[in-house]
A and B are shown apart, each in its own frame.
Chain A
Amino acid sequence: MYKVLGKDIYKDFLKALISDFEFIGPVKKDKAVYDFVPIKNISEMDTNYKTTTIPPAKKILFLPTERLVTYEVGKNIKVSPVNESSEKILFGINAWDINGMNFLDEFFTRDFIDENYIQKRKKLIVIGMDSQPNENNFALSMGTEYARDGFDIYLTELKDKYFVRIGTARGNEIIKKYTKASEASAGDFKEYDRYMDNYRMKFNLNVDIKNFYDNFELIYNDEEFWKKIAKNCYSCGSCNLVCPTCFCFNVKDDIELNLKKGNKTREWDSCMIPEYGLVAGGHNFRADKENRLKQRYRCKLKTFLDKFGKYACVGCGRCIEACLAKINIAEDINSVKKEVSV
């Protein structure tokens, strides 16, 4: 469903949402850092961000650490699940981060349903908004510069109005209850279409992903190539921490200080750190950093094309910015292509 929202009533719309909902939006933390945090007043918000360090949806839906199970120890052990969630609005998330969330949605509901993820997801009202790509963003090449679904409402800023795409019945209810949006006219569609053409021209970084699927296999055993690519890797896992689609986790059991209660807690893990493939007895199934990086690229750019029909990389460029060793996934995708076609 398509509507338009006048800029004159946009602020009142947000104010009403902020007063009625737990509301999370982008704020400028310091000169260069943006983050999504709870908003109490509209003036705190700054929607002109290009990227955030931590992906907004992942940080809400798949917490860095989360209690899954709690138990009483001692004579009578009692085990109970833990699953805390509350209704929230996530405002201002951009298209590629919505697509990253869509990937996690699919991942955590395939085969075994992860209730801890999906309860939070069901209660998250997503209001998307375009943001401008920075120089490390290759979302256009990955086909994620546009969000087809995953949002309740999506706002695109035109000259004196917002073009509103409504994705769910819940989104429609919110628009009806909190503002006066009118039907989008043929003229509005024209303006939106021009805007999107213009918007897509702003993505300056392109990757040649088309033949990666086959080329990757050809280059897989080329040790020299991978050693060169992973040469400077510190195995620190920063790339995983900032990735909107990385989902690896550990589950650990801890006992509380009173020795009466224990918890199973999950925490984000990283496929780049050496202990990732370590098993009891001391054998490490992926001891070399070049193999770990190679497996990361396979997971991002190949595995889920077979499983879900989409990449597990949205081209946001966060890992490029986070990497202290200047490992650049966009360059590496292109060098696989170059190396093979020479």
Chain B
Amino acid sequence: MALKIRDADKSNIYVPELARINKIQKVSPTEKLFDIILDDEVKQNNFNFKPGQFVELTIFGLGEAPFSITSNPNKKEFFQLCIRDTGNVSSALHRMEEGSKIGIRGPFGNGYFPYDKMRNHNILLIAGGLGLAPLMSLIKYILHYREDYKEIMIIYGAVNPESILFKNDVQYFSDRSDISICVSVDNPDDKWSGEIGVCTKLIPRVDFPVEETYVVVCGPPVMYKFVIIELEEKHYLPEKIFLSLERRMECGIGKCNHCHIGDKLVCVDGPVFSLWQIKNLKEAI
């Protein structure tokens, strides 16, 4: 495992840091965006994370659950989580108000997108549904250092126009000339003029050269199977394709074992894996 023993830190690894929900924005019928600030100012300033990492969020008296960080790592005043109202913790969170106190542990996971190697490459980002949330952090990171990368393309699939997340950001990306974004919906409404159907259908149109391209994918498990078929059809390299996996993660630190896939733990060895790693991990997809 990549992590080192934290000798200096003798504190209890299960104790969450107190934090407050500074702002809540409804971004779709089922998702809200939460701005979170740690109570301890020094810890908030030192809250360094990489795109792809996650936190464990505690609602006191109710429970704890893992959520990917969605904001730009260069933003130090707060961090953001985009959360769907679907489980015990997430639905309770949706009922909370601005100013409410929560607990935060983390950031956890490798968040291993190989940024250094990605430089001077084309970046193809493929997001399905809520999968855009973790990818948003990477997109904003890459745009922060835009000149380091060649072409950037985002393929984003949503169920319907209403469920498109980060609409302002999506609009902003399409307005920019140095990044292209293609949004496809399964169920269009009368006003929809964009692509229709699953987002995997858009992959054949990508013309980035194989050797110079990194691909990053995040979405529901069912999407991965089809995305991989399309990417392999185009001969993109398995060690240059990265996917983020979802599993039940109770502890975030490789102890509770719920996120075991084969010999790997999603919480410490992932959640981001290369397709090459995943191909050697039976049960992963």
Residues of A within 8 A of B (CB): 68-69, 71, 73, 77, 79-81, 83, 107-116, 220-221, 247-255, 262, 264, 266, 269, 271, 276-281, 283, 285-286, 291, 295, 298-299, 302-303, 306-307
Contact = CB atoms under 8 A, between A and B. Distances in A.
Contacts of B64: 251, 253, 264
B159 to A, nearest CB: 14
Contact of A249 (B15, B103, B246, B250): B250
A251 B257 CA distance: 12
A193 B5 CA distance: 39
Given A220-B282, A253-B61, A283-B221, A110 B1 contact: yes
B60 A247 contact: no
A254 B64 CA distance: 11
A221 B262 CA distance: 13
Q: Which of A69, A108, A285 neighbours the largest number of chain B CB atoms within 10 Å of its CB?
A: A285
Contact of A253 (B13, B18, B59, B221): B59
Interface residues of B, number: 47
B86 interface: yes
Contacts, number: 135
B254 A111 contact: yes
Given A249-B255, A254-B61, A285-B221, 20 more contacts: A68-B15, A69-B12, A69-B15, A73-B60, A79-B16, A110-B5, A114-B255, A247-B257, A248-B258, A249-B250, A249-B251, A251-B256, A252-B63, A253-B64, A255-B60, A269-B258, A271-B257, A280-B88, A285-B247, A307-B263
Contact of A247 (B103, B255, B282, B283): B255
A112 B61 contact: no
B86 A112 contact: no
B86 A285 contact: no
B32 to A, nearest CB: 15
5 contacts: A73-B61, A107-B255, A111-B254, A113-B5, A116-B12
A170 to B, nearest CB: 21
